[in-house]
Amino acid sequence: MEQLSGIDASFLYFEGPTLPMHTLKVALFELEGDLDWAGIRNGIERHLDALEPFRRRLVEIPLGLGHPVWIEDPDFDLDWHLHRCRVEAPGGARELDAVVSRIAARPLDRSRPLWEITLVEGLEAGRVAFVAKIHHSIADGARTLELLRALMHWNGAVGTPWCPERVPERGVLLRLAARSFFRELAALPALVVRTIRGLVAMVRRAKRSAVQQPAPFSGPIAPMNHSLGVGRRFATARLPLDTVLQLKRSAGVTVNDVLLCVCGGALRRYLEERDVLPMRPLIVGVPVDTRDGAHALPGANHVGHIMGTLGTDEADPIKRLHTIANVMREAKARHDALGPDLLERWVQFAPPRLYSGVIRAFAWLRLAEHIPPPINLVVSNVAGPREVLELEGSRLVGLYSVGPILEGIGLNITSWSYAGDLYFGLLSDDRGDLEPGRVAALLGVELTALTRAAGLDAPASESPITAPVSEPGVGPETPA
């Protein structure tokens, strides 16, 4: 039995009927021979010792007096978590994106371990896809990468042998919650001192800086900023990593700066096409890893957020890139001055019932229609495997990922690098006017424009299976 950290539990408190808080991983494989589904299923079963999050389920603390706990599921049934579906052959990006959209819309069952994997067959060129849905309380990007490597390497090291646990009794859970409360209470004075020092350092840094940081709620209202519907729209794109690295070196910026510039340019083009480009630039939330080793709390998620600009008010891609780089550099410096894990520490004190109630009321009252969003969208960048991965002799040829969307923040763009390419997953809901497929298509257009503006060679085109297309949203009631 292990109690969730506040940051892990917060992803449960955020969840509601229109707000499932899982992440998606889409792994595209090129088969060598026939698919051995039974062999894959048995391989997962044999290596559950090394896949701890896949075995554990939630138990709530009575009366919401503390964060929930994980236990080894006494009723674990692997087949509950494994599914298969087939698209009409030969299926391409449109058909695969439609399946992922349906999977994304359905929340996970909290009475069981919070994950599932769906095999999608019938894709062109003899390919198959595995769509993994994993709740954010289980893993952030870095932890998911660890799980991916464990899944890919059947012959690697395994963990401690596991066995099911009994569901803890009410008294045990209450005593655990009481010990946790007093432990956190004892740490509160030191946290207050850290917070004051961090705020002073951040304010001093801001006063010395010539770079203007965007403030929360200061961005425009854009098509992705609304109350969410229950359906989801998913789209993908693939861009060459070498081109991004050339731009990084040429401009003296980071890979993340280049990606934000490409996303900003694609969204600028999209909004111009629809004659709704706002005068103020879109504000982006960028997740950052807070695993600093010195203060890291136990838990699956060690993530903070910094705010930056996407420069959508700037037509010149080179000027936009340097504006983004300057703002992000300053945002990281202020985040470090405040304390990278400070938010993670304070979330430990979040009261579960109150937290969940506020989030659900915000969604039910559709307050996102009346209150400006703190940010316009989330853009995340994860450094994935550099080497080519294989599963039972089949080669992994594409790896897409995307995180959840939030009330009023209805677009998530996530990039994972893998074996020399950048794989983008885009997620929105089906209620707004945003078409993630069109935005995905414009990512490649914008990378080409940025590359030419920098005087570099234009990137090569994409392969058919990964070419981005627009796909209507589909709701959770449609079976995958």
User: Over the stretch 398-422, which tens digit does the pLDDT of each residue have?
Assistant: 999 999 999 999 999 999 999 999 9
- Residue 136: is its pLDDT beyond 60? yes
- Comparing CA positions, the residue from 276, 290, 236 lying closest to residue 424 is 236
pLDDT tier for residue 300 given thresholds of 50, 70 and 90: low
CB-count exposure of residue 387 (10 Å: 0-12, 13-18, 19+)? exposed
pLDDT tier for residue 49 given thresholds of 50, 70 and 90: confident
CA angle 298, 303, 308 (to 5 degrees): 165
- Residue 297: is its pLDDT beyond 80? no
Domain ranges across the chain: 1-158+169-480
Say how far apart CA 480 and CA 476 lie, in whole Å. 9
- Residue 181: is its pLDDT beyond 70? yes
**Which three-class secondary structure state does DSSP give residue 267?**
helix
What's residue 295's pLDDT? 54
For the residues 131-139, what does the mean pLDDT come to? 91
What are the pLDDT digits (tens) for 451-479? Answer: 999 998 777 654 434 444 334 444 443 33
pLDDT tier for residue 432 given thresholds of 50, 70 and 90: confident
Q: Are 86 and 99 spatial neighbours (Cβ–Cβ below 8 Å)?
A: no
For the residues 57-75, what does the mean pLDDT come to? 93
What's residue 470's pLDDT? 38
- Which range has the worst mean pLDDT, 17-26, 230-239, 334-343? 334-343
- Comparing CA positions, the residue from 316, 66, 260 lying closest to residue 180 is 66
What are the pLDDT digits (tens) for 434-448? Answer: 999 999 999 999 999
What's residue 477's pLDDT? 37
Say how far apart CA 341 and CA 320 lie, in whole Å. 30
Beta strands 421-429 and 232-240 are antiparallel
Q: Which listed CATH number (3.30.559.30, 3.10.530.10, 3.40.50.920, 3.40.640.10) goes with 1-158+169-480?
A: 3.30.559.30
- Comparing CA positions, the residue from 273, 296, 284, 310 lying closest to residue 411 is 284
Question: Contacts from 105-109 at CB under 8 Å and sequence distance 24+?
Answer: 105/20, 105/230, 105/231, 105/232, 105/474, 105/475, 105/476, 106/20, 106/476, 106/480, 107/15, 107/20, 107/22, 107/476, 108/20, 108/22, 108/133, 108/135
Q: Are 114 and 134 spatial neighbours (Cβ–Cβ below 8 Å)?
A: yes
For the residues 9-30, what does the mean pLDDT come to? 91
Q: Which residues are catalytic?
A: 136
For the residues 191-207, what does the mean pLDDT come to? 93
Q: Which two tokens stand for residue 20?
A: 């499932």
For the residues 151-180, what does the mean pLDDT come to? 79
What's residue 350's pLDDT? 82
Q: Specify the pTM.
A: 0.90
What are the pLDDT digits (tens) for 322-356? Answer: 999 999 999 999 999 998 888 888 888 888 888 88
Proportion of the chain above pLDDT 90, given as a percent: 60
For the residues 218-232, what does the mean pLDDT come to? 93
What's residue 145's pLDDT? 74
Question: Contacts from 217-220 at CB under 8 Å and sequence distance 24+?
Answer: 217/371, 217/372, 217/373, 217/374, 218/280, 218/283, 219/280, 219/281, 219/282, 219/283, 219/372, 219/373, 219/375, 219/376, 220/278, 220/279, 220/280, 220/281, 220/282, 220/376
C-alpha distances in Å from residue 413, one per residue of 31, 216, 255, 351, 456: 28, 19, 15, 30, 25
At residue 380, what are phi and psi to the nearest 5 degrees?
Answer: -125, 145
Helix, strand, coil shares, percent, the chain, to 5: 40, 25, 35
Q: Which two tokens stand for residue 173?
A: 């859970």
- Residue 59: is its pLDDT beyond 90? yes
What's residue 464's pLDDT? 39
Q: Which two tokens stand for residue 410?
A: 């209805």
- Residue 154: is its pLDDT beyond 80? no
The chain-wide mean pLDDT, for the chain, equals 87
